[in-house]
Amino acid sequence: MKDYIIEILMAIGIAGISLFFKSYISEKLKNMATSQDISKIATKIENIKADYLNQTYAWARFFDFEFEHVKAVWDASYDLQIKARSLNPIIEVGTPDEEARKEDLRNRYREYRESIYQFQNKVFKNQPFIPIDIYEASQKIMVMIIPLGVEFEIQQRQDREPDWMKIVEINTKINEQINKFCNQIRDYIYNKAGSANTVQ
């Protein structure tokens, strides 16, 4: 009977130890699975963060790149506007020498032609890097500046005074168009900068 009780106690002990180890191993496996899940989740979060930072960095670099090209076009349009304005009739005080006055006008026209070339160059050179609507707006300016040049070319060939009324009228239109163009660039830059702040 004593042996029987010992056997029962041993069986109970073994069963208890077996249950303990089973429970212990099960808990350990759960903990391992949980830590592996946490590790996977942490890795995924880090990957998402890295992707986001890379995208944000790439977006910022692209914005900087685009901004430089759009700014170059803006600068060229500003110079063109200034040079076009210089062709408006000016009251020359103390310049009785007609030949000196004509030479001054020819010089201003040469500077205007150079500013046209610079504007065209910046627009065409940077076309792939500027937004299509800004490019199209620049072409409207190009169409408008032609008549002003034609008027001065005729004047110089025929050695006569330009039609100042016509010059003022054309110049006013060019001025308005360049102002619209610059406002369009300004809006574009502010919208882009606003988007960048939202993203970051």
Q: Any idea where the domains of the chain sit in the sequence?
A: 67-199
Give pLDDT, residue 199.
Answer: 47
pLDDT, average across residues 112-136: 88
Q: Residue 165 above 60 pLDDT?
A: yes
pLDDT tens digits for range 54-83: 666 666 777 777 788 888 888 888 898 888
* Sign of the four-CA dihedral 121, 122, 127, 128: positive
Across the chain, mean pLDDT equals 75
The predicted model gives 40-63 an average pLDDT of 68
**Interacting residues of 145 by C-beta distance below 8 A, sequence separation 6+:** 80, 84, 116, 174
Would you tell me how many other CB atoms lie within 10 Å of the CB of residue 35? 10
Q: Is the pLDDT of residue 127 over 70?
A: yes
* Residue 92 CB contacts under 8 Å (≥ 6 apart), including other chains: 101, 104
Please give the single-letter amino acid code of residue 73.
V
CATH number, domain 67-199, options 1.20.120, 1.25.10, 3.30.750, 1.10.8: 1.20.120
